[in-house]
Amino acid sequence: MKNAILYDTTLRDGMQGENICFTPEDKIKIVKRLDDIGIHYIEGGWPGSNPSALRFFDLAKKIELKNAKLAAFGSTRRPNTKSEQDANLIALLKAKTPVITIFGKSWPLHVEKIMKNTLDENLAMIEQSTSFLCEQGREVIYDAEHFYDGYVDNPGYALMTLDAALNGGADTLVLCDTNGGSLPHDIKKITEEVYESLCKKHNSEIKLGIHAHNDCNMAVANSVSALTAGAEMVHGTINGYGERCGNADLTSIIPVLALKMKVNCISMENLKKLRALSRFISETANMIPLNNRPFVGKSAFAHKGGIHVSAIMQDSRAYEHISPELVGNRRRVLVSEQSGKSNIEYKAREMGIDFTAGGMNGKNIASSIKELEEDGFQFEAAEASLKILMQKLTNQFQSLFSLESFRVTIEKDKERPCYSHALIKIRVGSKTVITAAEGDGPVSALDNALRKALTKIYPEISNMHLVDFKVRVMDGRDGTASKVRVIIESRDENSIFTTMGVSEDIIEASWHALADSFQYKLSIENNGHEA
């Protein structure tokens, strides 16, 4: 296999994932990003399912794609209905996409028990629906739903459904592991048998595809197995979003094909956009990115053990299977109680810090960090705070504001939920600034008050937002007097950064984390070095 065709179904199958929803306008933005990176087919949704889907296809008619073909998705005609009178098929044509993907049943269990249909009528539905759409000049992709389960149960009938689609003129047959329960060796064996059988029977090369779900955590492996067994098209979603446990993750499939298998599917230049695309889809879906997602996750190339760091400083191949830059990611060295001086020296260089300043060295800094971690800090989870600490230890920290005092009050009455007020007094240079603000909680109120105080002086912080807030009780044996660790995640249009505060008082810990986030944002605006 020298080429693979990438088919993205984030906007349809991905949206079936729990808590994932895209507006029509969101979907248009995603289509443009998918097209830009070089995806070959983009499935836009089911035009007959809801008004939002119809609006998307209306908007899509106004954009011009340079790499991808847009596909509308739907089912075969209903039982005992003429194709030209079927509302679903008519809606597919009205979407006016160059490609239409329809699905039909491959498994007698679904045909007879679930649909209450006959096996013969199911075959007629597949062939006639495909023929009708092909006659309208559309490229037709046929999704053989539940194919692998159907083939195991009744291989003869499963193959008959594919024959029906081919007889109707389908351009590509996609074999679906809809329940996500198949294993790679079974996928490979069945795909090989199907490919050989169809090519022999129809006396021509047949274009096959694979559509895998992830219920056994095998979707990527199953997809790759099918591609080595004769399939050419691979379906998936960005970040593996989808119903139940999700779909095959294209952010893993694409680099596996391009880098590991040397298959033509995407240019090396576009491959560098993969991590940014992953983050964009997460942002648009309002989903927190998984740090341990292979290739594109924040932790995919993170190193913690001192021996590992010492090794990659000599040759990154020692503990990295690819260069992170190939997929738009970057190497990260974590600093924690397990760190040695190699971690510190690497991290300092990465952050643009002279770790020898102020009479310090890697060993001194590592020792200071370990003492703080004994006291409850955890710098591997808050690299922005780590940078500030290392600057302080080496006398390179320039504070752009300092706290004089703050006061937080919380009010509750029977008519409304709790709400908070914060009054802060800070010093910026020679000026004293006093501001007040409200918030949904004490941390929100402090954030709003600090932002209000600083924005007039540092307008660049206006695009920074707090996006996640975590509290960890260090040791609950002291009850309400226990020390807590607060971790705050903030982001701007370019990056995500994490800061931390530790105290017996949750508000004070929150303040330290908040203050570090603003100090860090202002520092990268001034010198450009990120954690």
Q: Which domains, ranges and CATH numbers included, belong to the chain?
A: 5-266 (3.20.20.70), 302-393 (no CATH), 402-527 (3.30.160.270)
The residue-averaged pLDDT of 316-343 equals 82
Q: pLDDT tens across 62-79, in order?
A: 999 999 999 999 999 999
Task: Tell me which of 45-54, 270-279, 375-384, 475-484 is least confident.
Answer: 475-484
Average pLDDT over residues 469-484: 71
Contact between residue 248 and residue 208 where contact means Cβ atoms under 8 Å apart: no
Mean model confidence pLDDT for the chain:
90
Cβ contacts of 439 within 8 Å, gap of 6 or more? 419, 420, 422, 445, 446, 447, 448
Rounded to an integer, the average pLDDT of 469-477 is 74
Please name every residue paired with 100 in a beta bridge, in sequence order, or none if there are none.
72, 140
| Between 202 and 295, residue with greater pLDDT | 295
Model pLDDT, residue 423:
95
> Is a pLDDT exceeding 80 seen at residue 514?
yes
User: How far is the C-alpha of 489 from the C-alpha of 470, rounded, in Å?
Assistant: 9
- Give me the torsion for CA of 14, 15, 16, 21, rounded to 10°: 150
Is the confidence at residue 528, as pLDDT, over 60?
A: no
Identify which has the larger pLDDT, 473 or 167: 167
| CA 87 to chain CA mean position, Å | 35
Find how far residue 11's CA is from the centre of its chain.
13
Tell which residue, 230, 239, 187, 194, has the closest CA to residue 212: 187
Token pair, residue 229, equals: 């067994």
Contacts of 182 (CB under 8 A, 6+ apart): 148, 149, 212, 216, 218, 222
Mean per-residue pLDDT, 141-168? 97
Distance CA 349, CA 460 (A): 26
Q: How confident is the model at residue 332 (pLDDT cuts 50, 70, 90)?
A: confident
Residue 251 burial (CB < 10 Å; 0-12/13-18/19+)? buried
Residue 116 — left, alpha, or beta (φ > 0 → left; ψ -120 to 50 → alpha)? left
Identify the DSSP state of 460. Answer: G
Q: Which range, of 43-52, 166-175, 350-359, averages the lowest pLDDT? A: 350-359
The whole-number average pLDDT for the span 307-330 is 88
Identify the top-confidence range among 194-203, 211-220, 516-525: 211-220
* DSSP code, position 238: G
- 3-state secondary structure labels for all residues of 133-196: HHHCCCEEEEEEECHHHHHHHCHHHHHHHHHHHHHCCCCEEEEEECCCCCCHHHHHHHHHHHHH
* Structure confidence at residue 479 (pLDDT): 56
Confidence class of residue 143 from pLDDT cuts 50, 70 and 90?
A: very high
What percent of the chain lies above the pLDDT cut of 70?
Answer: 94
C-alpha span between 200 and 314 (Å, rounded): 54
Residue 389 · residue 362 · CB < 8 Å? no
Give per-residue burial for 181-219: e unless 16+ CB within 10 Å, then b: ebebebbbebbbebbeebeeeeeeebbbbbbbbbbbebb
pLDDT given at position 124: 97
User: What is the C-alpha to C-alpha distance for residues 257 and 428, in angstroms, rounded to an integer?
Assistant: 53
Least confident span in 145-149, 377-381, 387-391, 486-490:
377-381
Q: Which residue has the tokens 């914060």?
A: 422
Model pLDDT for residues 371-425, shown as the tens digit of each residue: 887 788 878 778 888 888 888 888 888 888 999 999 999 988 777 788 899 999 9
Check whether 482 has a pLDDT greater than 80.
no
pLDDT digit string, tens, across residues 430-462: 899 999 999 888 999 999 999 999 988 899 888
The pLDDT of residue 408: 93
Averaged pLDDT for residues 459-484: 77
List Cβ<8 Å contacts ≥24 apart for 18-23. Answer: 19/286, 19/287, 20/241, 20/285, 20/287, 21/285, 22/284, 22/285, 23/52
- What pLDDT does residue 352 have? 81
Average pLDDT over residues 173-188: 98
CA atoms within 13 A on the CB side of 47: 27
Whether the per-residue pLDDT at 531 is higher than 60: the answer is no
**How do residues 183-198 score in pLDDT, each as one tens digit?**
999 999 999 999 999 9
